[in-house]
Structure 1
Amino acid sequence: MKKPLDSEVFSSMLDASISYWRQQGKKGVWIKLPLELSNLVEAATKAGFRYHHAEPDYLMLVRWIPNNTPDVLPANASHRVSIGAFVMNSKREVLVVQEKYGRFSGIGLWKLPTGAVDEGEDICTAATREVKEETGIDTDFVEVLAFRQGHKSFFQKSDLFFICMLQPRSFDIQKQASEIEAAQWMPIDEYAAQPLVGGNELVNLITKVCLARFGGTYNGFSPQLTTSASGKQTFLYFNGHFP
């Protein structure tokens, strides 16, 4: 759908098309309506189409045609991906920030740099980018140490949160003025002693995993650039130990 169209004309065309698709044995139909054709949404929903997902410039609608078989059209993306960056220097100081906004703002909590992975962005790239954006520190990605899957978080979607270890290449902090209230290198013991770190089971466990990796008693998953069956380059994360 690209050219302007009257909604009544579209409705008539849609009815005829559905009849034709049913005769052909078609099951699932997708309609991609760009923003400028939003006048056709009502006609599509009256024809039995439902919302599937929306992007800034279009709305995707779908309809399952057969009445005697289950609707097996794949659902919209169910997860978002985010990272937490564990960066520690040779003095056993961890890179931490205080956020200006959100549920952790204004409570004095020093936390690891975190952020969402952009569409089409690799986890390892996102981790180094977020640290650079929030603190000005250049880093090398080392490993994925652990991950947590949460549910019913952002817009009722699930969330995959990857804890990543990075090696600092610079040490002079330049905090992000728009989102970060403060940033510093903090002794790891002082960081872990915070009530919302040591007193929270999940965050406390994450801290223990990070320290175990720094102490050499734990191994995470390092990225290896490889090629998928479709010919696209992708990262496989593994700990390098084979039986």
Structure 2
Amino acid sequence: MMQDSRSRVLVVQEKSGGFRGTGVWKFPTGVVDEGEDICDAAVREVKEETGWMPFEEYAAQPFIQKHDLLKKISEICAAKKEKREYAGFSPVATTTGFSQKKSYLYINSQCLNLED
């Protein structure tokens, strides 16, 4: 999560892909092209589609709240934003909005008061 001095987080709306036209704002992600330098790829991806919004507005989006994985990631970001202690990793069971297959997000669940 990238945050500025006004507690806004860097977000994107996809111009192509599965979220195009949905109105969903999400944290930037991207793909490194074969042979592309990872730093160049990061700069390219950020330049392609960026915007800023208050973290609370990002986290409150219905899309984020209804998808277990994205909701837990926003909880991690909130913990870091509030400067709560955060160290170590535990597997926390979750599912994505794309399938019901169980997967794991490795986080410090004790610091977030999450149930396994």
TM range (shorter): 0.5 to 0.7
Distance 2:9 2:59 in 1: 10
Contact 2:30 2:45 in 1 (8 A): no
Higher relative contact order (CA 8 A, sep 6+): 2
| Distance 1:193-1:102 versus aligned 2 partners, 3 A rule | same
Matched, 1:219 2:95: no
Q: How many residues align?
A: 88
Question: For residue 186 of structure 1, what is the aligned residue in structure 2?
Answer: 53
Name the structure 2 match of 1:198.
65
Change (3 A) 1:92 1:118: same
Give the secondary-structure state (helix, strand or coil) at the position aligned to 1:210. Answer: helix
Structure 2 residue ranges without an equivalent (≥5) = 90-116
Asked if structure 1 preserves the Cα contact closer than 8 Å seen for 2:8 and 2:52, the reply is yes
Letter in 1 for 2:60: A
Structure-2 change in CA distance of 1:208 and 1:129 (3 Å):
farther
Find the counterpart in structure 2 of residue 88 from structure 1.
3
User: Paired residue for 1:106, among 5, 8, 21?
Assistant: 21
Q: Deviations over 1:72-124 (max 9, x none)?
A: xxxxxxxxxxxxxx111121100001111111101001111102356688xxx
**Distance (whole Å) between structure 2 residues aligned to residue 111 and residue 130 of structure 1:** 18
State the distance in 2 between where 1:194 and 1:186 align: 12
Residue 196 of structure 1 aligns to which amino acid in structure 2? F
State the structure with more CA Rg.
1
TM-superposed CA distance for 1:214, in Å, is: 2.6
Contact 1:114 1:130 in 2 (8 A): no
Question: What residue is the counterpart of 1:210 in the other structure?
Answer: 77
Q: For 1:127-152, what per-residue CA distance to the aligned partner results, in whole angstroms no more than 9, with x for missing partners?
A: x544421334xxxxxxxxxxxxxxxx
> What are the within-5 Å matches in structure 2 for residues 10-89 of structure 1?
86-89=1-4
Q: TM-score, normalised by structure 1?
A: 0.32
Greater share of residues in helix: 2
Decide which structure has greater strand share.
Answer: 1
SS in 1 for 2:52: strand
Alpha carbon RMSD of aligned pairs, Å?
2.6
TM-score (normalised: structure 2): 0.62
Distance change >3 Å, CA 208–CA 135, structure 1 → 2? same
Q: Deviations over 1:12-39 (max 9, x none)?
A: xxxxxxxxxxxxxxxxxxxxxxxxxxxx
* 1:113 aligned counterpart, secondary structure: coil
Quote the Cα distance in structure 2 between the aligned partners of 1:132 and 1:97.
Answer: 14
Could you tell me which runs of 5 or more consecutive residues in structure 1 were left unpaired when the two chains were aligned: 1-85, 137-175, 222-243
